[in-house]
Structure 1
């Protein structure tokens, strides 16, 4: 397996984790989790030292949903970081001044990555300078999405800013096709 194949395998794993987190969040949001079983005293037996988690941290559906939503955010951010890293491994430098479709896609991925890399608990858009404080237009499966990074600068990242989870999956698919 070459280095690009390894990077793409990392992308697949990161997006699989994101898929798991989204499914878990949806499962929790509709109340399928049995709180009595989940929020039980738990001791994990480890080779060096055991760790215990007492009841009470997840004793309400609200607490479970908040935790599952945070998990989605962490998995989403990781997927952005890993996707950006795959471009680096493939030797495809960022060209933020270019308005070519492949470069616009890469710029958007980089900007999403930056939002999460600086603070995964509260990702904020950071679009500084003329190369990034602009509208990025990306074509995904025949539809164009435009993200006005200048107006989003300093604001909390929201999935809808890029068209939601479905568009993120399309961004991944487009990127993998470009990098193979």
Structure 2
């Protein structure tokens, strides 16, 4: 559970950077100069130009959002495991529903964090979930590409973290 706050701060920062770029507040020439990192016995030389256009920047920040969202989801599920909550054979209680849907979101990102896909091939997980005022319907996602609206929007992951902090590891 040591990293859940960090994972969600990174996700928040990714959203802020994306918003900043959408507002045209990032100067691509200042952001993307040649750069060399040295220290600790390491030298890393980055290419002179990583991004060619403002559209490249937006795409890179969208990709960053997906990756940080996935990392936060994986971390949230790991915290659930560390707190001693296993997947229940029967998904009945609100906590059971939180655990099952968190696990499914984690699964969507675990095999390809940059291009997440649902992998709901067991009927017991293809269902609506309701816990703590959160409603997520995974009845028809199957193996399609993950989209934020599948869970009700990107803010739902933050709501899920709050639910867990309130009900599973207060």
TM over 0.5: yes
The reply on whether 1:145 has 2:121 as its aligned counterpart is: no
**What TM-score, normalized by structure 1, do the two folds share?**
0.87
- Alpha carbons 1:96, 1:103 under 8 Å: kept: no
Moved over 6 A (4+): none
More deviation, 163-172/114-123:
163-172
2:155 to 142, 166, 171: 166
**CA distance in structure 2 between the aligned counterparts of 1:96 and 1:48, rounded to whole angstroms:** 50
**CA distance in structure 2 between the aligned counterparts of 1:154 and 1:37, rounded to whole angstroms:** 41
- Alpha carbons 1:96, 1:107 under 8 Å: kept: no
Unmatched segments (≥5 aa) in structure 1: 1-6
- Alpha carbons 2:117, 2:145 under 8 Å: kept: yes
Structure with the higher helix share, 1 or 2: 1
**CA distance in structure 2 between the aligned counterparts of 1:166 and 1:118, rounded to whole angstroms:** 23
Q: How many residues matched?
A: 169
**Alignment-derived partner of residue 34 in structure 2:** 41
More deviation, 97-106/119-128:
97-106
The reply on whether 1:111 has 2:119 as its aligned counterpart is: no
Give runs of aligned pairs for residues 20-169 of structure 1, distance below 5 A: 20-95=13-88, 97-132=90-125, 134-140=126-132, 142=133, 144-149=134-139, 151-169=140-158
| Cα displacement (A) at 1:96 | 5.0
- Alpha carbons 2:95, 2:131 under 8 Å: kept: no
- Alpha carbons 1:39, 1:59 under 8 Å: kept: no
**What TM-score, normalized by structure 2, do the two folds share?**
0.92
Unmatched segments (≥5 aa) in structure 2: none
